[in-house]
Amino acid sequence: MSEGGQLLKEEPIGEEAQDEALLLAAQEYPDLFRVLVERYQAPFLRLAMRVLNSKEEAEDTVQDSFLKIYKNSTQLRQTSDSKFKSWAYKIVFNTALTNYRKSKKRIGETEYLDSFLYDSLKDKDIEAEINSKILIKEILEKMPAEFREIIELHYLEDRSYEEISKIKGLTIPALKMKLFRARELFRKLLNEGDNERLLEV
């Protein structure tokens, strides 16, 4: 009993702490890892599907991710926030992104563009960060090929106007006009998708 006459109550263990404890205990008792698999398999699969648009590839990605989570449990304590959920989601997203790049043979299209294209996407929370990258990927895929290619060349591959004009067979004034229209379309699609919930957890 405390000085104030109140009983000291043990604080309940939060879900994050439970997950971390399960992961660490699973290194000695592997069957415990099934609890984490059952808890996170569905949300992990939804995330992988958002990136890959393929159920088969998403299922393979989730399986690979769980294996990485299990094998790299010691890294959890070394992260800055040391939270299982954030750490695990990063593994799933990065694994899905790697598989997406391999399957599409395209590099960088889910990276952030310059500031004018994602002013509303500055939240550094892991789920918001993942949402932002997926949103940009989805917006680019909705755009006409001629606009998407110009944005990718200029902002993702850092090509100059001169290089792009040669690649696309356009004069520089025509290229600048097309790039302006591409940016306007990107902004429009971004605003339309800004309030959508892209990640269900």
Rounded Cα gap, residues 4 and 201, in angstroms: 42
pLDDT of residue 5: 42
Please indicate, yes or no, if residue 172 is contained in any of the structural domains.
no
CB 70 within 8 A of CB 26: yes
Please indicate, yes or no, if residue 192 is contained in any of the structural domains.
no
Q: How does residue 113 score in pLDDT terms, banded at 50, 70 and 90?
A: very low
Long-range contacts of 178-185 (CB under 8 A, 24+ apart): 178/146, 178/147, 178/150, 179/150, 179/151, 179/154, 181/147, 182/143, 182/147, 182/148, 182/150, 182/151, 183/116, 183/117, 183/151, 185/143, 185/144, 185/147
Please report, for residues 28, 30, 38, 87, 155, the alpha-carbon distance to residue 33 in angstroms, rounded to integers and kept in the order given.
10, 6, 9, 16, 42
- Tens of pLDDT, residue by residue over 139-160, are 888 899 989 889 888 877 778 8
Please indicate, yes or no, if residue 158 is contained in any of the structural domains.
no
- Tens of pLDDT, residue by residue over 11-30, are 444 566 788 888 888 888 88
Please indicate, yes or no, if residue 114 is contained in any of the structural domains.
no
Please indicate, yes or no, if residue 72 is contained in any of the structural domains.
yes
For 34, the domain range is: 15-107
Rounded Cα gap, residues 93 and 149, in angstroms: 24
Please indicate, yes or no, if residue 140 is contained in any of the structural domains.
no
Residue 162 has pLDDT above 50, yes or no: yes
Please indicate, yes or no, if residue 3 is contained in any of the structural domains.
no
Residue 65 has pLDDT above 90, yes or no: yes
Please indicate, yes or no, if residue 9 is contained in any of the structural domains.
no
pTM value is: 0.52
- Tens of pLDDT, residue by residue over 25-49, are 888 888 989 999 999 999 899 888 8
Q: How many domains does the chain have?
A: 1
Percent of the chain at pLDDT > 70 equals 69
The mean pLDDT of the chain is 75
Q: What is the CATH number of the domain that holds 43?
A: 1.10.1740.10
Please report, for residues 92, 176, 182, 193, the alpha-carbon distance to residue 143 in angstroms, rounded to integers and kept in the order given.
27, 17, 8, 13
pLDDT of residue 7: 37
pLDDT of residue 140: 84
